[in-house]
Amino acid sequence: MFTYTVKRLLQSLIVVWAAVTLMFALFFVIPGDPISLKSGEKALPQDILDNIERKYGLDKPVYVQYLRFWGNLFRGDLGYSYKNDKSVNTILHDGLSTSARLLFWGALFQLIIALTVGLTSAIKRGSLGDRIGTVFSVGIQGIPVFVSGLLAQYLFGVLPFQLHWEWLNFFKPWPQSWHAGVIPGDSWKGIILPALVVAVVDAAFIARMLRSSLLEVLRADYIRTAFAKGLSARRVWFHHALRNALIPVVTVYGTSLIAIFGVAVQTEKVFSLPGMGSTIADSALSQDAPVVLGLAIVVIAFGAVVNLIVDLSYALIDPRIKIDAKAVH
Amino acid sequence: MKVLSLGKRSVAVLAAIGLAVGGTVVSAHAATAPAFIDCQLFAAGEPDHIDPALTSTLVGANVATMLFDGLTDTDANGNLYGEVASKWKSPDGSKTWVFTLKKGLKFSNGESVLPSSFVNGWKRSMDSKLASEVAYHGDFILGMNAYSTGKGAFPASSVVANDAAMTLTVKMENPTADWPSIAGHSVFSPIPTSMVGASDKVEEDGTKLVGNGPFMLASAITKRAGGEVVLVPNPNYGGKASSISKLTAKIFSDTNAAYNAFASGQCDSGPIPAGRYTELLTKWGTKGVKSTLGTDYWGFNWEDPTVGGKKNKYLRSAIAKAIDRQQISDVIYQGVRKPATGLLPPGLPGYKAGQGLTATRDLTGAKADFKRWSDAGNKVSSPLRISYNDGAGWDKVASIIIANLKEVGIPAKLDPYPADGTYFSKMRKGQGQIIRAGWFADYPIADNFLYPLLHSKSIDGDNLERYNSAAFDALIDSARSTTNKSFSQSQYRRAEIQALRNDVVITQTVNRGIATVLAPSIATFPITPLGMVVYDQIVKN
Amino acid sequence: MSEIEQIPESLSYWQDVRKRFFGNKISIVGLVMLVILIIAGIVGPFISGWKYDNLGPDILVGPGTNGHWFGTDDLGRDIFTRVTFGIRLSLTVAIVVTTISVFVGVTLGGIAGYFGGWIDTLISRFIDTWQVIPFVLIGFAIITVFGSSFWVIVAALVFTGWYSTTRLFRASVMQVKSLEYVEAARATGATTKRIILRHIGPNAIPPIIVVLAFSVAGAILSESIYAFLGVGFREPTPSLGVMISSSRNFLTDKPFVFFIPGSILVLLTLSIVLIGDGLRDALDPKLRGVK
């Protein structure tokens, strides 16, 4: 297990390095001359563009820029925005505080929805609730996040406002504090819609996973034995069935976390939240390469860590994987 | 939009009176004056800067002009007045300018505003290491270009401060009759000694960006999207005290979000999402609407075999006559941008109406011109490319133009470019055919439109059409070198006619305008023709 | 198990699949929806009497006004014509992207899965690298530099979609390769080409069919997400994502401008997801014989 962990860890580092290098190429090398793009409706004289290039070190050869980029990265310096000279570290901090809250509440709602729907449809298999759950979980896969976001804004923002049903109006400003949502008051309302929109995408998928995994476990011999031994249904469900059924679900949950960035970008854009996703999107459009790259590194590292954890937990749960891993490498 | 400017109080006369009573008046006033919250729309990452030496956007410059007063400024009626300068004169035909400064003006930290404060400010803003995007405005000053490009030392002999006599003497590279207007640009702001050599991040520390304007920073500007810029009255301000006790500009990354915040009562002013001008101005009133010194136009690539050169004049005039400017104004801007009659916008000194080929649609004339061009053996072999930068609604204007041209029988198609920078750099290289362009005044002078946009020396720069006309150049050159104001004005007018009517190298569509929605409690919301909100003169009931 | 015995069994397998697929009501609903949408996409632009980029005098009029069945947008363009064009565009892009992605996936995945060893390691690590980069970033990078023409968007979507088909086909090939009859075929001295074409290929196909359906839906979604974020198709191209994106300004007063393209997009992806879901159940060998 130790050698496997070390090996896998090294692989993750290589993956992060390769991905960051790819991003560097995509945003720093391929666009050619990002500073010349600063000329908008009013042209900037070449001398001025040269000054700006010198300021950001873009007059140096690409390999020097690349080495300097890694050097600064190891010192914890992500560089400065081409647009307003703000430190990317600060931009990252600002964006992260919003995105982290969005994802925290989103993940929490996701878990609640997935468990409720998944359990209900497994326990009451074939019932009306199960069928609704199935349709819901299949259906949600066809709805892109930005559409469900706009729909939510209409149903819980525009419509209640026009009908003067203020109690149903959840389209409120994004709260600035961490604890909003726990402490009573009005600010929690601003979290509900964006977090739900983030939650439902994969909640449906996880609920289905849970349902089929539960049904499979229930068919297993040891559950039948447990029932035969006369253990209470509640004990069998929670102690035996759920525990075993959750293992595949947890790994699916991990992989869905990697994809969550794409969801966050759309949610933040639809709800105009100043998070990482919308910052990256806006910066990419205005070719502010240091900001894009600085924030992307965090997303990439996050993805790599989640991948690593998923793989390691696979190895822990299922010893056969180790053998397979040895065979492959 | 790269816009820069000046603009603030029109009441400089009152400066001396306000001076006598000083800070106490301001603070007594502040207790009763209302606060103002502006739900401002900033694009991604904006404001780029609120430091006057660095900002190159309208929103950033607006904050900078609230923090800093320059030598001169333009009031809400478009008139030039002395702000820190009390008078100015040129003894030698605009080759040297001598400004006399008002005495007793102070920065918000109490330091006096002296002629040397300007020298310090210019030394900083033109420094090649600061790499300001707007440093090139200094090129009017003798020897400044070498300094701002890092090739030479600061031209101390061109900018001479005499603090005892309170005079600032500036030597020009070429005779520049309009220099007093140009000197009002925020890049020419003064700085206190504490800001000498300050970096491009000085604004992120609220205590270090110290100006002499009606407001000062209440706290640092750190966050962009989701953050806010808070200004409070400058207690040492020498001019008329601000009418509001606090200005909060909230930063949104999205027009809809900003408008929604305004509509739900969080702010006193807000932007209008595209396509909703009529609806929202009807609902909230039109006090926040102002025509500004800008013009949208479409240019023809002078080097293109189909649309360019003398021989294709009648194709160009057919297009100019076919465009329905009223339709563009009504459908896209719902009257906020009005049909233009020439390149220079109304309100600009030297403006004359009707300088363009036509201001109204002339379908018969367009068909006749097109026939004349076709009869000469020309034809449009593939649809004309209508090029524009995407994302700012130009696609909709271009769609209208295509529909307009179709009625004349001229085939055309959309040719969008993804980002502003890419678009303009491609157009500058002559890759366009029919080119979306526009201009917003840096300083309210005719030369600021005609020279950069159409002079042959501006090819590769803002002369996107690559228009090269000896006749036009001669008119502009003679206007620039004279000190006779009325002669230069008539030369500029003749040049405008040469380009727009004789050569039809560009055709104007609409004049620019600003539209803001305001809460009912706002009685006065002054905006200068350069698009600057004069926050310190807002009247709130 | 010899080959001769296998053929009739595989025939009955496909009969079985067909029976199970058509026995599933939800899949049938999806199929009917998709057929209707495809027909609308083909004939819609011709029968509406408007062109998708024609500006009319009626601005933002509601459905049914002046012969505009779905109303008009802020430039007076006919929304029915634009959404039907949008369906056509979405499906065309999705099919082209899926075809290329599957081709890449089958080739790379097949090579990795069958040969294993260093080539498998190389391909797998490359996929890992690619996978941790959020797909929207790849789109941003490509489209902001190269513009938003049809083929650039297709390329961006292939770049973001190729690895999941590759990964899946690799796994599928590896699984089949280890099955007894393949090993038996190899033992009897069959050539590599023969093993791949006759044995591994056909058995790795069922999961590919399911992935195909989901990739088409995924490509439609990704295309609309790009358009919404401003890096996909642009005005006046009638992409559903573009229409939804520009409808945001009118959500309060003219919600139909959002609801029409929005629900068409949802119905389109939903119908394909439902079909894919039905196919997955029908093709799943574990469910054989279950009705």
pLDDT digits (tens, 9 = 90+) for B214-246: 999 988 776 666 678 889 999 999 888 888 999
Cα dist from B189 to B69, B95, B230, B272, B316, whole Å = 6, 21, 21, 31, 43
Q: Determine the Cα–Cα distance for residues C197 and C191; give it in Å rounded to an integer.
A: 10
Alpha carbons B41 and B60: distance in angstroms, whole number: 11
The nearest CA of chain C is from the CA of A312 a distance in Å of 15
Q: Does B279 touch chain C (CB under 8 A)?
A: yes
Q: Is B343 part of a structural domain of the chain?
A: yes
B252 close to A (CB below 8 A): yes
Residues 301-360 of B with CB under 8 A from A: none
Q: What is the CATH number of the domain that holds B432?
A: 3.10.105.10
Residues in chain B closer than 8 A to C249 (CB atoms):
255-256, 273-276
Q: CA nearest B396: which of C249, C69, A272?
A: C249
pLDDT tens figures, B68-86: 999 999 887 878 999 999 9
10 Å CB burial of residue B404 (0-12, 13-18, 19+) is: buried
B130 CA to chain A: closest CA distance, Å?
Answer: 8
pLDDT band at B28 (very low <50, low <70, confident <90, very high): very low
Q: Tell me whether C250 touches chain B (CB under 8 Å).
A: yes
Alpha carbon distance B479, A40 (integer Å):
28
pTM over 0.90: no
Instruction: Note whether B400 contacts C148, CB cutoff 8 Å.
Output: no
H helix or E strand, kind and range, residue C205: helix C201-229
Domain presence at residue C251:
yes
- Domain presence at residue B418: yes
**Which positions in chain C touch B279 (Cβ < 8 Å)?**
253
Residues of chain A contacting residue B427, judged by C-beta atoms under 8 Å apart: none
The pLDDT of residue B107: 95
Residue B442 token pair:
């840096």
A52 interfacial to chain B (CB closer than 8 Å): yes
Question: Please, which chains are in contact with C (at least 3 CB pairs closer than 8 A)?
Answer: A, B
Picking from A41, A51, A278, the nearest residue to B149 by CB comes out as A51
Note down pLDDT in tens along chain A; length 329 residues. 788 888 888 988 988 998 899 888 888 877 766 677 677 777 888 888 888 888 888 888 889 989 999 999 999 899 888 888 888 998 898 888 888 888 888 888 888 888 888 888 887 777 777 777 777 777 777 788 899 999 988 888 888 878 888 777 777 777 766 655 555 566 677 788 898 898 888 888 788 788 888 887 777 777 777 777 777 777 777 767 776 777 777 667 776 777 777 888 889 888 888 888 888 888 887 778 899 999 999 988 888 888 888 777 766 665 544 444 333 33
Nearest CB partner across the interface for C144, out of A141, A284, A300: A284
Q: Which of B255, B275, B417 sits opposite C74 (nearest CB)?
A: B275
For a pLDDT cut of 90, what percent of chain B falls above it?
55
Tell me which amino acid residue B181 is: S
In a domain? residue C103: yes
For residue B13, what pLDDT band results from cuts at 50, 70 and 90? Answer: very low
Minimal Cα–Cα distance from C284 to chain A, Å? Answer: 14
B399 part of a folded domain: yes
Rounded to whole angstroms, the Cα distance separating B439 from A41 reads 7
Confidence of residue B27 (pLDDT cuts 50, 70, 90): very low
Rounded mean pLDDT of chain B? 86
In the 8-state DSSP scheme, what is residue A80? B
Q: Does residue C127 belong to any structural domain of this protein?
A: yes
Is residue B331 assigned to a domain?
yes
What residues 389-448 of chain B have any CB closer than 8 A to a CB of chain C? 390-391, 395-396, 399-400, 402-403, 414, 416-419
The verdict on residue B365 lying in a domain is: yes
Give chain A positions within 8 Å (CB) of C136: 261-262, 265, 280-281
Set of chain B residues whose Cβ sits within 8 Å of the Cβ of C54: 403
Kindly state whether residue C59 falls inside one of the protein's structural domains: no
- Are C128 and A23 an interchain contact pair (Cβ–Cβ within 8 Å)? no
Q: Does C58 touch chain B (CB under 8 A)?
A: no
pLDDT the model gives residue B43: 60
The shortest C-alpha distance from A299 to chain B (Å) reads 20
- Are residues B1 and A41, on separate chains, in Cβ contact within 8 Å? yes
Determine the Cα–Cα distance for residues B10 and C34; give it in Å rounded to an integer: 66
Cα–Cα–Cα angle for A124, A130, A133, nearest 5°? 145
Taking an 8 Å cut-off on Cβ atoms, the answer to whether C234 and B399 are in contact is no
Query: Is the Cβ of C149 closer than 8 Å to some Cβ of chain B?
Result: no
Q: Among B1, B201, B260, whose Cβ lies nearest the Cβ of A85?
A: B201
Higher pLDDT, A93 or B17: A93
Between chains, do B416 and C234 touch, taking CB under 8 Å as contact? yes
**Does residue B199 form part of some domain?**
no
> Does residue C283 belong to any structural domain of this protein?
yes
With an 8 Å Cβ cutoff, is B275 touching chain C? yes
Q: Are C56 and C102 in contact (CB under 8 A)?
A: no
Facing residue for B45 by CB, picked from A38, A40, A282 = A282
Nearest neighbour of A41 by CB, restricted to B46, B424, B425: B424
Which residues of chain B are within 8 Å of residue C148 when distances are taken between CB atoms? 390, 416, 418
Our count of domains for chain B comes to 1
Beta-carbon neighbour count of residue A225 at 10 Å?
12
From the CA of A227, how many Å to the nearest CA of chain B?
56
In a domain, C102, yes or no: yes
Residues 109-148 of C with CB under 8 A from A: 116, 120-121, 125, 128-138, 140-142, 144-145
Output A15 or B113, whichever has higher pLDDT. B113
CA-to-CA distance for B383 and B304, rounded, in angstroms?
14
At B337, phi and psi to the nearest 5? -105, 120
Burial C244-268 (b: 16+ CB within 10 A, else e): bbbbbbbbbebbbbbbbbbebbbbb
Query: Under a CB-based contact definition with an 8 Å cutoff, are residues B297 and B504 in contact?
Result: no
Q: Kindly tell me if the per-residue pLDDT of B300 is higher than 80.
A: yes
Quote the tokens at residue C39.
């027909």
Distances (CA, A) of B290 to B294, B343, B385, B516: 11, 18, 33, 9
Q: Are the Cβ atoms of B252 and A272 closer than 8 angstroms?
A: yes
Looking at the domain assignment, is residue B528 inside a domain? no
Domain of residue B382: give its range: 291-513
CA distance A301 to chain C (A): 8
The token pair that represents A184 in the structure block: 């009573």
Q: Which two tokens stand for residue A272?
A: 């105009």
Evaluate whether B184 touches B6 at the Cβ level (below 8 Å): yes
B353 backbone φψ class: left, alpha, beta (φ>0; ψ -120 to 50): beta
What backbone torsions phi and psi does residue A299 show, to the nearest 5 degrees? -65, -40
> In chain A, which residues have their Cβ closer than 8 Å to the Cβ of C219?
none
CB within 8 Å of chain A, chain C residues 214-273? 217, 221, 224-225, 228-231, 244-245, 247-248, 251-252, 255, 258, 262, 265-273
CB atoms within 10 A of CB C114: 19
CB contact under 8 A, B256 and C144: no
Q: What is the pLDDT of residue A166?
A: 77
Looking at the domain assignment, is residue B75 inside a domain? no
Query: What is the model's pLDDT at position C199?
Result: 67
How far apart are the CA of B152 and the nearest CA of chain A, in angstroms?
13
Number of domains in chain C: 1
**Measured CA distances, B100 to B5, B91, B193, C1 (Å):** 21, 13, 20, 105
Nearest-CA neighbor of B138 among B179, B99, B168, B175?
B179
- Determine the pLDDT at residue B5: 35
Residues of chain C with pLDDT under 70: 1-12, 180-182, 196-204, 284-291
Helix (H) or strand (E) holding B318: helix B313-322
Helix, strand or coil, per DSSP, at residue A126: coil
Task: Name the β-bridge partners of B74.
Answer: B80
Contact A84/B49, CB-based, under 8 Å?
Answer: yes
Q: A-chain residues within 8 Å CB-CB of C128? A: 11, 15, 307
Structural domain harbouring C265: 19-45+69-287
CATH assignment at residue C137: 1.10.3720.10
Nearest to A51 among B131, B438, B460 (CB): B131
Q: State which residue of chain A sits closest to B3, comparing Cα positions.
A: A42
CA proximity to B394, closest of B440, B426, B439, B436: B436
Chains within contact range of chain B (3+ C-beta pairs < 8 Å): A, C
From residue A137, give the alpha-carbon distance in Å to each of A105, A134, A210, A247, C222.
20, 5, 12, 20, 20
pLDDT at residue C224, as a whole number: 92
Q: What is the SS3 assignment for C141? A: helix
Rounded-to-integer distance, Cα B490 and Cα B501, Å: 16
Is the Cβ pair C132, A304 closer than 8 Å?
yes
